[in-house]
Amino acid sequence: MILKLLLVIGVIAIFYFMFIKKKPSLSQKQQKQKTQAKTADNVDEMVECTTCGVYVSVEEAILSNGKYYCSRECIVKAK
C-alpha cells in the first residue's frame, strides 16, 4: 500500500516538473542582463577640476590643454 502511494506521488512529481513547472527562458535572462547593462551605462565618470578640486562629470567638464576644468573662471585662474 505504501509502495503504491510513493509510486503515485513520484509519477505526479515527475509530471509536474516535466510539463507544468516552467523554466525561465533565455530571453528573460538576456533581458535581466540588458537592464543591468543599462544601469551601468547611466553611471558617469567624474573628473577633478585642476584649479579648485571640485569633481565634475566628464560631459559637463571643460577640457583645455589636456586638463579638466569645472568652469571658465577656473580656466582663467589657472592662466
Instruction: Kindly state the DSSP code that residue 69 receives in the 8-state scheme.
Output: E
The β-bridge relationship of strands 62-64 and 55-57 is unpaired
Please state which CATH number belongs to domain 44-79. Answer: 3.30.60
CATH 3.30.60 domain range(s) in the chain: 44-79
pLDDT in tens, 22-72: 666 656 667 777 666 655 555 678 999 999 999 999 889 999 999 999 999
Q: What are phi and psi of 55, to 5 degrees?
A: -90, 130
Instruction: Look at residues 54, 46, 57, 59 and name the one whose alpha carbon lies nearest to residue 73.
Output: 54
Contact between residue 58 and residue 31 where contact means Cβ atoms under 8 Å apart: no
pTM of the predicted model, to two decimals? Answer: 0.47
Instruction: Give dist(CA 34, CA 12) in Å, integer.
Output: 37
